[in-house]
Amino acid sequence: MHWPANPDSEGRILTYLSLVRRAGFPRYNGSVVDVLYISAQLSIPMSEIDMSAVRAQGAGGQNVNKVATAIHLRFDIRSSMALPRALKSKLLATNDQRINSDGVLIIKSQQHRSQERNRQDALQRLADLLRESMKKRKRRIPTRLGKKVKQKRLDAKGRRGAIKKSRGKVIDD
């Protein structure tokens, strides 16, 4: 994948790592970019992500009652052209309550007072979820018990069996 050279306000070329370090979605000269970078292999066009502002829940007085600062992010996993098939199936197979039966991932962000910070938080959470699902899980290698451990267990079983055997009926001769 070719990464475009995007100079920042000081004229420096932004690298992929500098984009990832920024909160949620990258910005150049204050304008929003139309791509959410997940990794070097994966980026999602913002056209596939639907965000809407809603009123936040909970206490907060006039700000909560009047201003729509919470963000609902919707990302349709099944119809996404950016995600590989393997990643789609892995995401849909997870038992995540944020993914509905239609395969739409819904993330609600209402932690911050401003709509912009909630938007960044929602995009960051989407990117984190996708990065986490891209990781390959290490296969567990079962460990073998040592000879002494096996012998110790068998000796303990023998002692316990002898104690139980001695509890039998006493026969007088």
| Confidence at residue 21, expressed as pLDDT on a 0 to 100 scale | 45
- pLDDT band at residue 128 under the 50/70/90 scheme: very high
Query: Strand runs (DSSP E) across 2-87, as ranges?
Result: 27-28, 31-32, 35-37, 43-45, 49-54, 70-76
Q: What pTM value is reported for the model?
A: 0.63
User: Distance between CA 52 and CA 72 in Å, rounded?
Assistant: 5
Domain boundaries, the chain: 47-134
Indicate the class that CATH gives domain 47-134.
alpha beta
Mean pLDDT of 29-43: 75
pLDDT attached to residue 5: 46
The predicted pLDDT at position 32 comes to 56
- Residue scoring higher pLDDT (116 or 157): 157
**Residue 16: per-residue pLDDT:** 43
